[in-house]
Structure 1
Amino acid sequence: MALLKLAAVLLACGGSLVPAAASSTSSTSGAPAPVLLDCVGHPQNRPTQYVVACGDGNNYLVALHWTQWNGTAARASGTDAANDCRPYCAAGHFHRYPVEVTLDGPVSWAGHDGTVRYTRLTLDYPGDRPAGMPAHFVFPLPKGPAGATPV
């Protein structure tokens, strides 16, 4: 039941980033690489941490190691930390699961000429995963406010 709530929160809240040191990268075409927006619309490149459940923080990605970040997609391996919410979320415990992360669906970021943002996050669990979560989970990323500052 708790993981069904988690899945609902993930779908309702979209993705979010914990600010992390990141460097700008460019795709091979010379155009700026797409950005990943956090819950408040701040653009990030190659973050090492990413809050998935921005509404309550009960699911986040850590130790992200990016092997690709370009105008088509971004790929990383890392760890998904998910709260089991037992008996309820505030009293729950976080469990860690290896995960492969893909960002894709790049589109122009409205109000930010020349900046492209990823629109979709995919989580693939090669082994154990949070109870109730599918091995392959795809959900949309936030659009971000039009006034956020590009990188």
Structure 2
Amino acid sequence: MNSDTIRRRGRPLFGAIAAAALLIPAGCGSTDSGTARPADSTAAQVSARGSAPEVIDCSFDEPAVRPDHLILACADLGAQVEQIAWQNWGPEQAQGDGIERDNTCDPNCAAGTFVTKKVHLTLTDVARPGNVFTKVTTADAEGHAKTWPMTSR
């Protein structure tokens, strides 16, 4: 491909992007005449997904809603919760149950073994802006609770 072909192919895409950019500000904050319009179900689904808080367990992971696992100790991966079954995921709190794997670090973390236990998780402290949970508390069957910080955006 020569440079003229590349430039010509980019023009329709640029034109579409520019047209979309012009339409976006027109809809933001504008007053409507009150005429009801049918909602686009795809747009409504995207909007609903966008409003749910996410969680980022470590800076190298992508934000997620209802992940099946969370890393609690990012530096050495010495604590994590797997097989999470979420009971609820709301705008201020999420709760679920899973299996926590913790490194005993005995005699040291490199030579430690992992122990597992069932835990209940509660995600809280939504950061705004950013819309991410920034704290997770795990509680085991004996009532031992531990709070872990989560990554914010």
Q: Do both share a fold (TM > 0.5)? A: yes
Question: Once the two structures are superposed, what CA deviation does each residue of 1:43-77 show, in whole Å capped at 9, x if it has no partner?
Answer: 11111111110000111111100010010210010
Residue of structure 1 equivalent to 2:70:
50
Work out whether residues 55 and 132 of structure 2, in 8 Å CA contact, stay in contact via their aligned partners in 1: yes
Residue of structure 2 equivalent to 1:70:
90
Q: How many residues align?
A: 106
Residue of structure 2 equivalent to 1:123:
138
Residue 81 of structure 1: which of 98, 101, 105 is its match? 101
Q: Name stretches of at least 5 consecutive residues in structure 1 with no aligned partner.
A: 1-25, 111-115, 128-133, 145-151
Residue of structure 1 equivalent to 2:16:
none
Residue of structure 1 equivalent to 2:36:
none
Residue type of the alignment partner of 1:121: V
Structure 1 segment 2-151 matched on structure 2, within 5 A: 30=48, 32-40=51-59, 42-110=62-130, 116-127=131-142, 135-144=144-153
Report the structure, 1 or 2, having the larger helix content. Answer: 2
Residue identity over aligned pairs, in percent, reads 27
Residue type of the alignment partner of 1:142: T
Q: Which has the larger radius of gyration?
A: 2
Residue 107 of structure 1 deviates from its aligned partner by 2.6
Question: Match of 1:106, SS?
Answer: strand
**TM-score scaled to structure 1, two decimals?**
0.63
